[in-house]
Amino acid sequence: MVFPFSSITDFSIKLDEEHELFRKAVREFVESKVMPRWQEIERENRIPEDIIEAMKEQGFFGVGIPEEYGGQGGGQLTTAILVEEVSRAVPALGVTLGVNHLFVVPILLFGSEEQKKRYVTPIAQGEARGAHANTEPTGGSDVAGIQTRARRVNDHYVITGRKVFISGAGDADYLVVSARTSPPREDKRWWGISVFIVEKGYPGLKIGQQFKVMGMRGEQPYEVILDEVKVPAENLVGPENEGFKVIVTTYDHTRIGIAAQAVGIAQAAFEKALNYALQRETFGQLLIQHQMIIQKLADMYMRLEAARLLTYWAASLADQGKKEFIVAASLAKAFATEAAEWIARQAIQIHGGYGVDVETGVERYLRDAIITTIYEGTNEIQRLTIVRQLVRQAFGLKI
């Protein structure tokens, strides 16, 4: 046994020529349509609608969604490549793609056929936008601790609560919302949570303030207020009171996208540092001729490629339907996001004063990288997941 996996074949990455052709197509799109406008996005704190429309025309919103629901098909690995490439230019655009998946994944995994056709199809075709409202003022990583309430009244539920730091909520047509429908059991604290699809036009649903977080300009999160929102009973996703499983299983899948976003950030920061080191002279030498800079660049590159390999590996395991992908996803998310933060920090150091000048576009990668270590489950939670899954897979024990 290759502890805690069953075989060395579990460590393979299933890539083919189609993946590379897709990556090149996305890279070409990003270089021509997105990269030249990063300053505009940073300044306006908004992704221009023409970029969204162009992504729709390219079919990007349908990547990773089955063709039977209007998507382009492709699995986690194809999705990771897409997110990595767009995040290399504007990490917030990776959020734009990611929040749609946060909406559709729980429906694809746990929803009814009617829900998939009604809500997933317009998302896949770029006709609608989705968001995922789980985090609350009292916490986000502790999914079992949410306090939003939902009570059954005849043929509908009435939801009341407040969600915070909800990415994409400002433009979302639909939201997946978690709420407590029953008190927790003594032996099962997670019991009693349910998941619902809430449409933007439902009375009582209000999109509140936009949080001015340090990074991800262009796609910063919002407050979502639910005041006696009536939701049809058929909008319940999965079994009533078992929504905890819906939420955490969704994160098992979607955190691979955060790892991919971090790889894109790390790639961009490394490229900027390397290019600058090849042009800038100090003490009569190019920066890249200084031993200290050589060491920095080598360490940056090692972490970058390790992060990419972990991310592609986790995506490959998920595409193969292997349960081991859960621990791999947490490994990739924690390592890649911390690697991106470290690489961005080194890129700033290599640029010196220019590294903290907002006009050069270097410091933004550090701001964005820090955020990736926090959302979609903090890296502290990823470490908890890693050890729990390791012990469960290897010994069949719960801790």
Question: Which one of 136, 324, 341, 376 is the catalytic residue?
Answer: 376
Handedness of CA 309, 310, 313, 314 (dihedral sign): negative
CA 218 from centroid of its chain's CA atoms: 15
**Cα–Cα distance list, 146 to 27, 40, 135, 179 (Å):** 40, 37, 8, 7
CB 336, CB 259: distance < 8 Å:
yes
- 376 belongs to the catalytic site: yes
Q: How far are the Cα atoms of 256, 318, 325, 340 from residue 311, in angstroms, in the given order?
A: 6, 11, 10, 13
Residues designated as active site: 376
